[in-house]
Amino acid sequence: MPTEGPKSPEDRKFVTALSRGLEVLRCFGPRDRWLANQELARRTGLAKPTISRLAYTLTRLGHLRYSETLNKYALGSAAISMGFAALGQMDVRRAARPFMQELSDYTKASVHLAVNDRLSMQVVDTYWNSASFVIDIGSRVPVATTSLGRAWVAALPPAERRRVLAAMRAARPADWPTTRRRFLQAFRDYQAHGFCFGLGDWRREINAVAAPLFLPNGGGPIVIGCSGAAFQLEPERLKRDVGPRLLALLGNVRSALARD
Amino acid sequence: MPTEGPKSPEDRKFVTALSRGLEVLRCFGPRDRWLANQELARRTGLAKPTISRLAYTLTRLGHLRYSETLNKYALGSAAISMGFAALGQMDVRRAARPFMQELSDYTKASVHLAVNDRLSMQVVDTYWNSASFVIDIGSRVPVATTSLGRAWVAALPPAERRRVLAAMRAARPADWPTTRRRFLQAFRDYQAHGFCFGLGDWRREINAVAAPLFLPNGGGPIVIGCSGAAFQLEPERLKRDVGPRLLALLGNVRSALARD
DNA sequence: GACTGCGTTTCGCGGTACGAAACGAGGTAC
DNA sequence: GTACCTCGTTTCGTACCGCGAAACGCAGTC
């Protein structure tokens, strides 16, 4: 679910202070361990004193921690706990486990389960075999250039789809023509087959296929994909063999989820 | 870091709305997948309309998701992403990895890395060998009855220590006499040896030893512990052999962290 | 010692978030 | 069908909470 700022001029239900605080937490990407007050202000576009108060609150609550020596903030242990709580409640992971393992065994490639986070896909589970290419758990890959991302966008309702594409265009205007073309192709692939491809445009020599899955109780789609060395996963094989097996996998997961 | 509510009569820096929103998120424990508005109101002690607005905001931001059919909320993918972001930034994990593996190999028991979350310890990494008893990653164990928890409390400065003990007393008044006695012993153990024990009082026939570690840049202590079958880890061995090795492990981790 | 960069604190105002009460939507009983 | 639950959302006026310009404090630098 692509999120955005407050907007909605007269949305009395929207609690600004809470949104801003969470925005501060989201500043901490994989690359940004320690962020100073000023940097947080720059990234969020909020005034310094505001950041000061929000960060103070977040620190008291354990979501941030403060280094006296650096005068900077980092994510705290409360964030970790919340993440694990959320992970533990994804029963898709349990349900999908044997089937993902099986597909990985069959293809000798790696199989991933991912959820969306803005313009990235967050890899939540990974299964692999032999020396194939591996994206570790916890990795993030771009929505724009991976099969995981394309499958996610393709599964969105039109309105949200447009919002995401607009955000990607704004984020990387230079790449937009290519990005746009690839997405149009991805939508056609999704229409025709039910899955999307990534053929070497995220990493050279890595091919992949991915398909979305809507969970019973709402929320955005999650995505399962299979990726590996290009010489092993040729486009034709992805379309004829791996892709259909991926769809079968999703079917199995769906019925496993329905069962209990 | 033990967190608490707003309080502080005139704390102008504390942003109440943000705190309340995060409090809502924290209602979702491992056992509570779907929570209704009313249940959230009960747990947080906030008025229904307030929860309504906070939950609306959190849903818009992707931290919660809403099931139309159940009329209930669950944690959303933003929580997962944040958790992974926080995990990825704990370089203690990388630093400690080989040493924890080594201790696990030596003891044939499992070795855990944990952080605190209120009255639980959140297990963040696990290494094990053979068929020994395993606490999986993502598990949570109580502070009150485990070596991990005791080591954490023992490492706290006196003021925080008192706060935590008071919270445990309030949470389980009936167990307090026992809990108190065990903690006093744990503090003596920590003074004398630098580590704390858990001898069958969390799970029968499971013994464990744990010691805290303060990270270079502030924040509460993290804890590393070793646990296994009681017949393998007799108290005497924990004190003479495993405990000292645990301290050596912590020393190694500290210097590995200082190195880079 | 003046200067610069950054974080925190002050403080009065504006508007936001609060919550009692009203409203609405399903569900159940009879 | 009506009356009666229960639970969630919306309304709305007020209290007060969070906002941010400006002032302050504190290091480091030249």
Give the mean pLDDT of B142-151. 97
Region of poorest pLDDT, from A18-27, A109-118, B122-131: B122-131
Residues 80-99 of B with CB under 8 A from A: 80-90
Q: Which nucleotide is nearest to A47 (CA to C1')?
A: D20
How far is residue A75's CA from residue A65's CA, in Å, rounded to a whole number?
6
| Identity of the amino acid at A71 | N
Whether residues A97 and A131 share a domain: the answer is yes
> Which pLDDT band holds residue B136 (cuts at 50, 70, 90)?
low
Residue A184 lies in a domain: yes
Tens-digit pLDDT profile for residues A38-63:
889 998 888 888 998 899 999 989 99
User: Which of B62, B82, B102 delimits the end of a domain?
Assistant: B82
Residue A3 lies in a domain: no
Residue B9 lies in a domain: no
Contact between chains at B76 and A70 (C-beta distance less than 8 A)? no
Bridge partner list, B111? B127, B226
Range of the structural domain that residue B25 is part of:
16-82
Whether residues A180 and A55 share a domain: the answer is no
Whether residues B247 and B181 share a domain: the answer is yes
Q: Which nucleotides of D are covered by protein (CB under 7 A)?
A: 7-12, 17-22
Exposed / middle / buried, residue B30 (Cβ in 10 Å: 0-12, 13-18, 19+)? middle
Q: Which nucleotides of C are covered by protein (CB under 7 A)?
A: 6-11, 16-21
Residues 37-56 of B with CB under 8 A from A: 52-54, 56
Whether residues A228 and A135 share a domain: the answer is yes
Residue A171 lies in a domain: yes
Task: Mention every residue, 6+ apart, whose C-beta is less than 8 A from residue A237.
Answer: none
Whether residues B157 and B65 share a domain: the answer is no
The tally of domains found in chain A comes to 2
Tens-digit pLDDT profile for residues B187-224:
999 999 999 999 999 999 999 999 999 988 777 899 99
Strand C and A37 CB separated by under 7 Å: yes
CATH number of residue A64's parent domain? 1.10.10.10
pLDDT for the residue A69: 83
Tens-digit pLDDT profile for residues A204-227:
999 999 999 998 877 789 999 999
Kindly state the percentage of chain B with pLDDT values over 70. Answer: 93
- How distant, in Å, are the alpha carbons of A39, A170, B49, B122 from that of B30? 34, 38, 26, 11
Contact between chains at A218 and B66 (C-beta distance less than 8 A)? yes
Given a cut of 90, is residue A192 above it in pLDDT?
yes
User: Which of A54, A81, A108 delimits the end of a domain?
Assistant: A81
CATH number of residue A176's parent domain? 3.30.450.40
Whether residues B78 and B95 share a domain: the answer is no
How far is residue A144's CA from residue A235's CA, in Å, rounded to a whole number?
19
Whether residues B30 and B97 share a domain: the answer is no
Tens-digit pLDDT profile for residues B51-101:
999 999 999 899 999 888 888 999 998 988 888 888 888 889 889 989 998
* Parallel, antiparallel or unpaired: strands A35-36 and A72-75: antiparallel
Whether residues B124 and B234 share a domain: the answer is yes
Whether residues B132 and B248 share a domain: the answer is yes
